[in-house]
Amino acid sequence: MLLIPAIDLMNNQCVRLEQGDFNAQTVYSEDPVLTAQHFEKAGFTHLHMVDLDGAKQKDPVHLSILNLVSKATRLFIDFSGGIRSLEQATEAFDNGASAITIGSLAVNDPDTTLSILKEFGAEKVILGADVKNEFIATAGWLEQSDRDIFSFLEFWLDKGFSKVMITDVAKDGMMQGPSLELYQNVLQQYPAIRLIASGGISGMEDIRKLSQLKCYGAITGKALYEGIINPEELKAYLKQN
């Protein structure tokens, strides 16, 4: 299982939100490039970068930081936040993204989502599913759709997506454990997908449980920034990957 650190960007800073609340943020670093380099030196190979301002404005605003991080590290960078068109997706790749995650667009504009998937392929385009009470949230979690997670997955997996990042908004930034039951249910129904779990990781035990579920990857943020995860355990885990 891939262990993937997260950099969430607001006002050019690395922040973490609680349950997707833009008013409940903690600034952890004013230098995203240095933070990314720190993750690389710790042994990570992938990075999940979220443009929170872009998600809110429905237009990426931190592409310059993406560009700087891509040039300063060799990390595989998955970028998300505000992508609403093929042109914006292309711009993200031009600025160093290795992959992009599409969530809100997949709910609101299937045709454009399909065009992006066709243009770049399933290895470079990840389906994002931000979930509140099993329904999909959009626009940086500020809006809630009437699509439930299972019908959403059923529709898009049939169209060619293979990697799916699922975030339980209620768990995100709370360090109260990930949504193991949700992930288990999804994997039971769709065993072929490569599920990336996001939200709630509070320590190595949570990571071990997600690995036992056969998740493809797991995103971790706050537990890393606050030093909750034991560095020695983490180092050993990364060696296994």
Residues with catalytic roles: 8, 130
Taking residue 212's Cβ as centre, other Cβ atoms within 10 Å add up to 11
Q: Which residues contact 79 (CB under 8 A, 6 or more apart)?
A: 49, 51, 60, 66, 92, 97, 99, 100, 101
What's the token pair of residue 235? Answer: 């180092």
| Closest to 157 measured CA to CA, from 108, 191, 120, 115 | 191
Report how far residue 144's alpha carbon sits from residue 154's, in angstroms, rounded to the nearest whole number: 19
Q: How many residues does the chain have?
A: 241
Instruction: Confirm if 165 and 126 have CB atoms less than 8 A apart.
Output: yes
Going by their DSSP bridges, the two strands 2-10 and 13-18 should be labelled as: antiparallel
Helix (H) or strand (E) holding 195: strand 194-198
Angle ∠(10,24,3) on CA atoms, nearest 5: 65
Taking residue 122's Cβ as centre, other Cβ atoms within 10 Å add up to 16
